[in-house]
């Protein structure tokens, strides 16, 4: 009975459900067409906005202002600016160096090399003119050619080509100077000399990056260190070799006029990995010395008379801080583990003492004095052969427990 009555009812509901689904689909389709046609209220508003902003110049009448508008900046009228012109100095001032002017320097004491230090003129003596370049000055050669050549017109001095001819410092060729790379203590050339040092000092390892060249001459040592990735600061006084530092600068080598004197070097402590003194003493006859030669020794003890030169008679009344103070200054600027190189007198005195017109006793005493101060500074001697000796500074400065009345202390080692 159940199958007879419920069968017809199910058949009737199925077509009704299908019709409802089809109707909903058609309704949704019509709604979509209506919205796409733009008849909807929301689409009308969107279209209006689009039409209004179709032109990219939203603010066609506005000009952008990029000027500063800080009220605290005081503007200066261009009419108030004035140009001050300086006249040119006379030609005689071409090489004028205000704080190292020779005539002024000679008025200062010779002790401790004070007269070779900076002595700037008072305000009323300063020049108010423009220093002119030498006549015919030419743009220097570019590096690395400048290492070997400089125009004569830029540094018109032949004095060194005569005085240092046998030492291979500089040669005059046509309109240029040639620098063969020689020096007083390395006539075979700076490269060969540096190779000898490299047998002890790790020059090629990267550990040595900075160097200090005391009494640099024309700075060939520093010039040839550059290709070994070592930057050397060279310095020399303005003395009878007027243009030493000027030669160095023309070559493109860092250099300054300076001297180890009564004041500290203008460098912080531990600035250099290596320090170099080549022939820091030089023999010269003095009118006041009837028994031969006197030596100017910067390293051991300044402050004695005789026109800036030091006799080899060791006095007992030197100031305790004067003895060894130049080696102490080298120690200050040398980093722990750094190297100090000394070449020339008094080394190899057994060979040259007669040439220097000195006794063996005097030569031996001078070298012994240097050795004593090196020991007080806790420097370890690493090498001595011929004219070259090399010391190494203690890696741990605090482990140096040697004390002496001869070693004076300073409160601020960097107050240069």
Q: Which helix (H) or strand (E) element contains residue 96? A: none
Helices (H), 164-315: 190-198, 220-225, 244-251
* Residue 5 three-state SS: helix
Q: What is the pLDDT of residue 96?
A: 87
10 Å Cβ neighbour count for 390? 23
Residue 378 phi, psi dihedral angles, 5° rounding: 65, 35
Q: Please state whether beta strands 283-285 and 231-236 pair in parallel, antiparallel, or not at all (unpaired).
A: unpaired
Helices (H), 37-112: 41-52, 102-105
Residue 46 phi, psi dihedral angles, 5° rounding: -65, -40
Q: What is the pLDDT of residue 308?
A: 27
- Which among 346, 337, 349, 342 is positioned nearest to 394, based on CA atoms? 337
pLDDT tens, N- to C-terminus, the chain (416 residues)? 444 444 455 555 567 778 787 878 887 777 777 666 655 555 555 556 555 555 545 445 556 676 766 665 555 565 667 888 889 999 888 888 889 988 888 899 988 889 999 999 999 999 999 998 888 999 999 999 999 999 999 998 888 888 777 778 899 999 999 999 888 888 889 999 999 999 999 999 999 999 999 988 899 999 999 999 999 999 988 876 566 889 999 999 999 999 888 888 989 999 999 999 987 643 332 222 222 222 233 444 443 332 222 222 222 222 234 567 889 899 999 999 999 999 988 898 999 889 888 899 988 998 999 999 999 899 999 999 999 999 999 988 666 655 444 445 555 667 66
Q: What is the pLDDT of residue 272?
A: 97
- Which among 157, 152, 153 is positioned nearest to 178, based on CA atoms? 152
Q: What is the pLDDT of residue 382?
A: 96
Q: What is the pLDDT of residue 70?
A: 60
- Give the pTM: 0.70
Omega cis (within 30) before 346: yes
* Contact predicate 170/146, CB 8 Å: no
For residue 89, with 0-12 CB atoms within 10 Å meaning exposed, 13-18 middle and 19 or more buried, which class applies? middle
Token pair for residue 281? 């003493």
């Amino acid at each position: 009975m159940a199958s007879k009555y419920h069968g017809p009812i199910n058949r009737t509901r199925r077509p009704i459900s299908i019709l409802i689904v089809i109707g909903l689909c058609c309704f949704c389709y019509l709604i979509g067409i209506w919205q796409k046609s733009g008849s909807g209220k929301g689409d009308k508003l969107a279209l209006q906005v689009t039409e209004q902003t179709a032109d990219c110049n939203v603010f066609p009448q506005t000009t952008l202002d990029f000027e500063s508008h800080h009220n605290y900046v005081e503007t200066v009228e261009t009419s108030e600016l004035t140009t001050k012109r300086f006249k040119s100095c006379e030609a005689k001032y071409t090489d004028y160096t205000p704080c190292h002017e020779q005539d002024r320097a000679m008025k200062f004491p010779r002790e401790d090399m004070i007269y070779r230090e900076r002595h700037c003129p008072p305000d009323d003596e300063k020049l108010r003119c423009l220093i002119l370049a030498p006549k015919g000055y030419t743009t220097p050669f570019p590096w690395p050619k400048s290492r070997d050549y400089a125009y004569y017109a830029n540094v018109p001095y032949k004095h060194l080509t005569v005085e240092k001819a046998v030492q291979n410092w500089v040669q005059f060729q046509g309109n240029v100077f040639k620098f063969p790379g020689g020096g007083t203590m390395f006539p075979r050339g700076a490269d060969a000399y540096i190779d000898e040092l490299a047998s002890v000092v790790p020059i090629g390892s990267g550990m040595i990056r900075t160097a200090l060249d005391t009494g640099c001459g024309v700075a060939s040592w520093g010039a040839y260190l550059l290709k070994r990735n070592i930057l050397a600061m060279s310095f020399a006084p303005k003395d009878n070799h007027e243009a030493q530092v000027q030669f160095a600068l023309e070559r493109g080598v860092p250099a300054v006029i300076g001297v180890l004197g009564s004041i500290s070097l203008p460098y912080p402590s531990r600035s250099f990995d290596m320090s170099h003194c080549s022939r820091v003493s030089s023999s010269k006859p003095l009118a006041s010395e009837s028994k031969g030669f006197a030596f100017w020794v910067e390293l051991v003890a300044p402050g004695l008379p005789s026109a800036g030169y030091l006799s080899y008679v060791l006095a007992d009344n030197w100031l305790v801080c004067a003895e060894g103070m130049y080696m102490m200054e080298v120690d200050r600027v040398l980093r722990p583990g750094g190297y100090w190189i000394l070449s020339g007198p008094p080394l190899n005195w057994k060979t040259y003492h007669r040439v220097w017109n000195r006794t063996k006793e005097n030569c031996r005493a001078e070298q012994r004095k240097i050795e004593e101060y090196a020991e007080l500074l806790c420097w370890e001697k690493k090498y001595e052969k011929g004219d070259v000796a090399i010391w190494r500074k203690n890696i741990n400065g605090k482990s140096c427990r040697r004390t002496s009345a001869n070693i004076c202390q300073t409160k601020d080692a960097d107050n240069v």
